[in-house]
Structure 1
């Protein structure tokens, strides 16, 4: 039997991190946290690197 390991991209890792923080520190559900995480990462990624 061979176990397959799913590798997540750096984006997916960041997305999961933001999702987990939103779930842990608010009363929103997982579906809402997932949607919000996408928007949050998009906003953060649109900030020029020099400013970050």
Structure 2
């Protein structure tokens, strides 16, 4: 009997990964720098009022 295992990834971590991927695909920064920048980008976006977004 095979047991499937899965790893939980939060929605926030998925968003960070998505932004980091976009940054690495469209610039010459490395993955670590892209992930760090993605956290800052998402923090800024999360603080924009819903009406403005």
- The reply to whether TM is greater than 0.5 is yes
Determine the C-alpha separation between the residues in 1 that align with 2:28 and 2:6. Answer: 32
Determine the C-alpha separation between the residues in 1 that align with 2:37 and 2:3. Answer: 36
Unaligned runs of 5+ in 1: none
Runs of 4+ in 1 over 6 A off after TM superposition: none
Kindly report the root-mean-square deviation, in angstroms, between the aligned alpha carbons of the 2 structures.
1.0
Unaligned runs of 5+ in 2: none
Structure with higher Rg: it is 2
Aligned residues: 52
Give the corresponding residue for 1:35. 36
Report the TM-score when normalising by structure 2.
Answer: 0.87
Determine the C-alpha separation between the residues in 2 that align with 1:18 and 1:43. Answer: 13
Give the corresponding residue for 1:26. 27
Report the TM-score when normalising by structure 1.
Answer: 0.88
